[in-house]
Amino acid sequence: MDIVLIPGALATSTFWFHQEQHFQRKIGVHHVPDLSGACISRMAEQMIPSLPNKFSLVGFSLGGYIALELMRHIPHQIEKLILINSGARPISEKGITERERSVELIKKGQFDFLIRLIFKNSVHDKNKHAKILPHLQDMAHVVGAERYINQLTAVLNKPDHSELLKKIQCPTLLIASREDKIMPTECSEHMAKHIKDSTLVYLENCGHVAPLEQPDMINRMMSSWLLDVPF
């Protein structure tokens, strides 16, 4: 079995460090190229040539948007789907305003200030800030301000995947963090209502970056879903 891991905005493949360590001796782990485009559909299309013939797909946040777009293009290749703190509907008016302000801040040279603010709101457990925030900031600086503007642009113009949800045939696991300040649980609940073969599970006392904040729990959930290991 192969799995393909797609991170979110401001993240590199090292976002999945804990999952790669957990799965590397059990299944083939594949990372995607850095998310640098300004269009969700285009990002997905660029990935397709490098993907395995059959695989399970895991998408986090922005990576979940891309995963759904891949479901539109190559559903026959995807055997199982996991979406973590992601959604299918277009960005809300509030979300649009926040992202437009983020673009303005970056253009004013406030990239470092912006990422500090974003990451502070991405981790719920304050005791884990000292361990997680430096990693998030390191990845953000690798991505850089220009590519993050592209990512924000892609999110602002993301397609509405609501109708696509009804067409998803593969088993789908939806993971939602109760304390996520960036992607409310309603986003995952909406997908659960429309994907026929789906299971929705919640992470308690966890913020947006769940694979980093609660890696052991994420690994257990993923192992149960992908490998039929008892949870």
Question: Tens of pLDDT along 72-81?
Answer: 999 999 999 9
pLDDT reading at 88 higher than 80: yes
Look up the pTM and report it: 0.96
pLDDT reading at 230 higher than 80: no
- Within 8 A by CB and 6+ apart from 56, the residues are 1, 2, 3, 4, 78, 79, 80, 81, 82, 226
Q: Which of these ranges, 21-30, 78-87, 107-116, 118-127, has the smallest mean pLDDT?
A: 21-30
CATH fold label, 2-92+154-227: Rossmann fold (3.40.50)
Inter-CA distances, 89 with 48, 94, 164, 189, Å:
23, 14, 10, 11
Percent of the chain predicted with pLDDT > 90: 91
pLDDT reading at 231 higher than 70: no
CA atoms within 13 A on the CB side of 3: 24
Q: Which of 103, 61, 102, 98 is nearest to 82 (CA)?
A: 61
pLDDT reading at 36 higher than 90: no
Query: What's residue 59's pLDDT?
Result: 98
Contact 60, 173 (CB under 8 A): no
Rounded to 10 degrees, the C-alpha dihedral 97/212/206/165 comes to: 60
What is the rounded average pLDDT of the residues 10-16?
Answer: 96
